[in-house]
Structure 1
Amino acid sequence: MTIKLLAVGDLHLGRRPPRLPENLSARIDDFSPATGWERIIDLAVRERVQAVLLAGDVAESTQDYFEALPRLQAGATRLNDAGIPLLAVSGNHDVDILPRLIDQVPEARLLGAGGEWESVGITGDGNGDAEQVTIWGWSFPAPRVTESPIATLPAPPDRGPHLGLLHCDRDQSQSPYAPVTTEQLRNTGFDGWLLGHIHQPDALHAGQAMGYLGSVVGLDAGEPGPRGPWLVEIRDGRIQRLEQRPLAPLRWERLDVDITGATTGAAVATALSRRLEALGADLTRGADWPDLTALRVRLTGECDLTREAIEAELPDNGRAMGLPGTGQIQWFLEHLRIDTRPTIPLSRLAERDDQPGLLARRLLTLQRAGDDPERRALLEAARQHLQSSMTDSRWRQLPGDDPDPESIAVWLRERGQDALRAMLAQEAD
């Protein structure tokens, strides 16, 4: 008999997506981790799994106790009614709140409380000769753990398979969040490690069952791509299937659109529309679809259209629309990046002794290697100029309070290309 498990990464109940369009602001909960949790429960019941496993950071913080409690209670009750146990370990975010939550949810069980490894056996039908898997769990005893929890893992009995459920920071020796190494995990001899903490999921499969499950719902634009739980199937003492089910209600995506040769804003809109149709076909290929897709669009290629001409034909980020070819999925433009080159090569423009020529030379400098002295000097001069007034709106557009040189280089290139296109457009007039 096959054992089915549903492994869930960082859930972060209490978080809500940022920067939703105005016409969806009243439905913000529909695209939150709470809705992702409801879909996980639906899937677990539908697939008749033998257990649901939570790999830590179930709640965002202690302030989310009253938000997370009814969600967790409702899900655990449905699972219990279907005969499905709910097993969890705590992470660095929910080290204080998850034990309190589980105290109020008798249908759920916290594994490895206080940083002590604990195991539980899962069988296919309750028969001692039936298929069986042992789940090993360890929970954060404090918000910061600087030693590897693998060091205290007891030697498992010979009978397998064995799966580890752990919230940790892999291959980051100085991390305060339970640092472990890939070698340590492999040396345990376990058949798989289902990890929480890093929100980007690994490319897991039956032959590679050690890695991060990822966040259940992308929490911001920095978490693009498919998100959702992983279905694990065990048969004949081995993992036979490990498949992600991308059921997140909100999906962040990055979309490159080549607009080479476009001479009107309408041509740009047509190129974007074609890419949207291709995206819709890709998203609807499987059984799990998002309800909403937030897009960071990057326009590339050779084009002399100004930002104003392009933006005049594209939707703003204040409203959601239907994704072409899907009939159900909505999308909105979360961010537009215009990263096009002028149709006249920069090397030719740089030969000119005027403002476009000076700007072209600086853009060429930005294309050099990161250790180039002129490039480094240009970036430092830009940093000092922008930092001279912390109220400068241009500085606030950069990521973080102290953006790295490459972020400044990208920002400079975009603004420089905008200015160059505007100069060339004025010459054409």
Structure 2
Amino acid sequence: MRIIACSDIHLGRIPSVNAHPGLTSHSAWDAIVEKAVALKVDAVVLAGDVVEKDNAWFEAYGPLAKGLETLHTSDIEVFAVAGNHDAKVFPRLAKEGEHIHMLGLNGTWEQVVYKGVRFVGWSFKDSACTANPLDSFERGFADFDGPILGLLHCDVDGSLMTSTYAPVSSTQFSATGVPLWVLGHIHAKRQLADNTGFYCGSPFALDSSETGEHGIWLLETVGEQSWKDPEFIPLSPWLFCDCEVDLEGIVSSDDLLNYIGKALRTTATKTSTSGFFGDLYCRLVFVGTVPTAFDLARALPLTDLQNLEIPLEQGYSVHVQPSFVDNTVLAVDLESLSAGVGPIALLAKQLLDMDTLPGLLEEVKDISQKSHNVPAFQSLMSTADIQDEAQVKELIRKSGFSLIRSMLSQRGSV
């Protein structure tokens, strides 16, 4: 049997990309249906979060029903479980529609056999679940003379004490006796360490946080009871990625666009060499040593980034995201500056030895938490993900060098 596996389609949500005419909240689902028909598979399995949220009924019903009808006409069966996003609406949509087998509704395990394969699944009954669904899995589901495929939307190796997304330990899957699990919830493709299962990831990258390739998986049975290794099939027509721009040797802001253009073309070449052909949405990451007179934030306003586009072959383009990461280093001698007197010398000394700041980590984390959702700070670099002292020191280093630049400029040293 040949099966397409996918999850986290989020019907009702339009991906955060531009320059894609005709893009809708169901474009990913339409592409999945088209690919399933083209590959002449026997079944499609959906591991939850097919619909964005409960109030997406009107947006999701028509496209979902149309796709299910197309699959049915092509003799392709559909098996699904509900996730935390569609715990209420997806079963309702499935009930109103046809040609879909919902498994494990109301948070209980359920199985169905099709063409000699047993499909076993569990669904969210509410938008949150703190219980471990595998704790209620009955070993009898694995007593079957044929291939078995498990479907589950869950949080693998998240906090078993605090996760509200069906927390599961990765070591539990092998103990179920089910040889392969299709998992939903994480929007990045990822296989479990012991190859007992894999996260499908979202078929289309939904926003800039979903970097790397996105698509679906092809599963095939081999022999009477086992599976071939899952095969990933890219599907997303765009890719979010970082583009490193080395500013070493730059003299003035007039040269900045040349450095950026070269870096973007290099990134485009690398991605096409790896086999991806589509639009790129790049976040610029600046590195290298720059003169103290060079102020990247002033030289590259965010509004200019949004307008930057480089055409590629076959009608594709490179787009630049309206944010960047500044990992450059100022061409200043901290040792020499620290030997002087005054505020600049004190700041240079502190940057040379940041271990002398007691309570730095907790103070910065506290400030970042308080400012994270304040509108006035939204245009600044996010510090919401600060977790350890190394990240705090890097943030302080960047801020310190920026302050040194301003102080030197004010005293006429640039």
TM class, shorter-length: 0.7 to 0.9
Of 245-254 and 41-50, the range deviating more from structure 2: 245-254
Structure 1 residues 154-209: Cα deviation after superposition (integer angstroms, max 9, x where no partner):
3222423222110011123122221211121111122211111122321479x725
Task: Confirm whether residue 168 of structure 1 aligns to residue 154 of structure 2.
Answer: yes
Task: Give the partner amino acid of 1:110.
Answer: M
> CA separation of 1:81/1:320 partners in 2, compared to 1, >3 Å: closer, same or farther?
farther
- Pair 405,58 (structure 1): closer, same or farther in 2 beyond 3 Å: same
2:348 is aligned with 1:350:
no
2:43 corresponds in structure 1 to 51
Q: 2:127 aligns with which of 125, 138, 143?
A: 143
Distance in 1 (CA, whole Å) between partners of 2:368 and 2:7 is 43
Q: Which residue does the alignment assign to 1:369?
A: none
Q: 2:296 aligns with which of 301, 307, 314?
A: 307
Secondary structure in 1 aligned to 2:230? strand
1:173-184 map, 5 Å: 173-174=160-161, 175-184=163-172
**Are the aligned partners of 1:58 and 1:98 in contact in 2 as well (CA < 8 Å)?**
yes
Q: How does 1:283-302 map to 2 (within 5 A)?
A: 283-285=271-273, 289-290=277-278, 292-302=279-289
AA of the residue aligned to 2:359: R
Instruction: Give 1:189-228 correspondences, 5 Å limit.
Output: 189-203=177-191, 208-228=195-215
CA distance in 1, matches of 2:192, 2:51: 24
Whether contact under 8 Å (1:218, 1:252) holds in the other structure is yes
Aligned to 1:9: 7
Q: State the Cα distance separating 1:362 from its structure 2 match.
A: 4.0
* Deviates most, 357-366 or 186-195: 357-366
Instruction: Give, in whole Å, the separation in 1 of the partners of 2:130 and 2:216.
Output: 28
2:376 pairs with 1:393 = yes
Q: Counterpart of 1:261 in 2: which secondary structure?
A: coil
1:333-372 deviation per Cα after TM superposition (whole angstroms, max 9, x unaligned): 3312222112234344333434443443444455xxxxx4
Judge conservation of contact 1:398–1:408 (CA < 8 Å) in 2.
Answer: no
Q: Distance in 1 between matches of 2:358 and 2:238?
A: 39
Higher mean alpha-carbon deviation, 92-101 vs 347-356, is at: 347-356
| CA apart distance, 1:76 | 1.1
Map 1:240-251 to 2 at 5 A: 240-251=228-239
Aligned to 1:374: 357
Whole-Å Cα distance in 1 between the matches of residues 314 and 333 of structure 2?
A: 39
Structure 1 residue 106, shift from structure 2 partner: 0.4
Residue deviations 1:274-305, cap 9 Å, x none? 33223223433466644x43222110121122
- Tell me which amino acid in the other structure corresponds to 1:4: R
Q: State the distance in 1 between where 2:107 and 2:366 align.
A: 45
With normalisation by structure 1, the TM-score equals: 0.82
2:317 equivalent in structure 1: 329
1:17-64 Cα deviation digits (max 9, x unpaired): 34x56xx4xx5761x652122211121111111111111011111111
How big is the shift at 1:376?
3.3
Q: CA deviation at 1:81?
A: 1.6
Q: Distance in 1 between matches of 2:165 and 2:253?
A: 49
Please give the alpha-carbon distance, in whole angstroms, between the structure 1 residues aligned to 2:196 and 2:336: 53
| Structure 2 CA distance for partners of 1:150 and 1:362, relative to 1, 3 Å | same
Give the deviation of 1:96 after TM superposition. Answer: 0.5
> What is the distance in 1 between the residues matched to 2:165 and 2:370?
33
Match of residue 67 from structure 1: 59
**In structure 2, C-alpha distance between the alignment counterparts of 1:242 and 1:180, rounded to whole Å:** 21
What 5-or-longer segments of structure 2 have no aligned partner? none
Unaligned runs of 5+ in 1: 124-131, 367-371
Q: Are 2:80 and 1:93 aligned?
A: no
Identify if the C-alpha distance between structure 1 residues 303 and 425 changes in structure 2 by more than 3 Å, giving closer, same or farther: farther
Aligned-pair CA distance for 1:420:
3.1
Change in 2 beyond 3 A, CA 1:409/1:94: farther
**Cα distance in 1 between the residues matched to 2:84 and 2:239:** 25
Whether the aligned pair in 1 keeps the contact of 2:268 and 2:318 (CA below 8 Å) is no
Q: Is the 8 A contact 1:204 1:242 kept in 2?
A: no
What's the offset of the Cα at 1:5?
Answer: 1.2
Whole-Å Cα distance in 2 between the matches of residues 176 and 392 of structure 1? 28
Between 48-57 and 348-357, the greater mean CA deviation after superposition: 348-357
> C-alpha distance in 2, partners of 1:385/1:221?
21
Q: Distance in 2 between matches of 1:355 and 1:408?
A: 22
Paired letter, 1:376:
G
Q: What SS class does the counterpart of residue 380 from structure 1 fall into? A: helix
After TM superposition, give the deviation of residue 149 of structure 1 in Å. 1.5
Q: Does 1:229 align with 2:216?
A: yes
Q: Is the 8 A contact 1:204 1:243 kept in 2?
A: no
CA distance in 2, matches of 1:395, 1:72: 36
1:60 to 1:29, Cα distance in 2 relative to 1, 3 A: farther
Matched AA of 1:143: S
The 8 Å contact of residues 247 and 288 in structure 1, kept in 2 or not, is answered as no
Pick closer, same or farther for the CA change 1:62–1:308 going to 2, 3 Å.
closer
Please give the residue correspondences for 1:99-110 in structure 2 after superposition, counting only pairs within 5 Å: 99-110=91-102
- The match for 1:40 among 8, 32, 56 is 32
Q: Secondary structure at the match of 1:317?
A: helix
Question: 1:422 Cα shift?
Answer: 4.5
